[in-house]
Amino acid sequence: MITFETVNEVVLRVTCSGAGEHIFTKAGAFIAGECYGGKNFKFEKVLLGPEQGLGRAILGQLARRFTGENLPLMKVQYQGDSVTYFANEQQHVVVCHLLQNEVLSVESENILAFTPDCKYGVKFLGQGVISQKGLATSTLTGIGPQAFVAVLVDGNPLVISNMESRGTLEVDPDAVVCWVGEDPSIKMDVSWKNFIGQASGESYMFEWTSGSLATVIVQPTERTSGVDVSMDGSRSGASPSAQRRITY
């Protein structure tokens, strides 16, 4: 049995009871471990992806490379009771326990670890022209009782939801870490003011309405992105820059 929990806000603790278990983590994220007896866990680089079967793994890797959702993974295999710890550059860690068929949509760079009870995939969103989030996002779907995902957040996370209120959520795509529920629509607010550098700086938003319910995790920092269309080279969204992608 595998369980995930957060320690000191910035560390993931993975507790394994029994043998024959494994998880997937961001490559190089291990920081410490404790075994009851001799060392009983080992690391293995995942060359293609976490999908079951060679054919599906190859197709999944091609999809991730095409969409920019490359995810450098290692597999941690456990052969007994142990506790292991994982972290990434002092980023805050949030643990999500997914229900059966529940889908978490998350940028690949924000994934710290997940269990094999999560099915990994990629879906197209198409906001890459205006947002640093790119054209696609990764998905993790709960397919078993131990469907745990640990995501990384720059700073303390903000969690907002319209599941009960049935209201409208608007979130800057460059501040979104992940969401569970329906996909958002993309709302544009572009006018002649953008072209003369007089825009508000909030020209595009993710929007969830009463017909698209979701719980969203937001971080207090934004990715640097956006299309600069102003005459004086000032912001129409955020400062344009080359998108940082992690590749094998």
For every residue of 129-173, DSSP letters joined together read TT-TT-SEEEEEEE-STT-EEEEEESSS-EEEE-TTT---EEE-T
pTM higher than 0.95 for the full model?
no
Phi and psi torsions of 62, nearest 5°: -65, -40
134 to each of 63, 84, 173, 188, 243, how far by Cα in Å? 14, 32, 10, 16, 8
How far is Cα 167 from Cα 129, in angstroms, rounded to an integer? 28
If DSSP codes are grouped into helix, strand and coil, which group holds residue 109? helix
- pLDDT for position 71: 76
% of the chain exceeding 90 in pLDDT: 55
> What is the average per-residue pLDDT within 78-97?
96
Tell me the pLDDT tens digit for each residue of 179-211. Answer: 999 999 887 765 444 444 444 445 678 899 988
Summary count for the chain: helices (H), strands (E): 2, 19
How far is Cα 221 from Cα 102, in angstroms, rounded to an integer? 27
- pLDDT for position 13: 98
Lowest mean pLDDT among 8-12, 54-58, 101-105, 181-185: 54-58
Spatial neighbors of 38 by CB under 8 A, at least 6 apart, are none
Which of the two residues, 230 and 110, has the higher pLDDT score? 110
- pLDDT for position 237: 41
Q: What share of the chain is helix, strand, coil (3-state, %, to 5)?
A: 10, 40, 50
Task: Please report which confidence band the pLDDT of residue 167 belongs to, taking 50, 70 and 90 as the band edges.
Answer: very high
Would you list the domain boundaries of the chain?
154-241
Tell me the pLDDT tens digit for each residue of 124-161. Answer: 775 544 555 556 688 999 999 999 999 999 999 999 99
> What is the average per-residue pLDDT within 73-100?
96
Mean of pLDDT over the chain: 79
**Which residue, chain included where needed, has tokens 């953008």?**
194
- pLDDT for position 68: 46
The pLDDT of residue 51 is above 70 = no
- pLDDT for position 204: 77
Which of the two residues, 121 and 150, has the higher pLDDT score? 150
Lowest mean pLDDT among 146-155, 163-172, 230-239: 230-239
Pairing mode, strands 30-35 and 19-26? unpaired
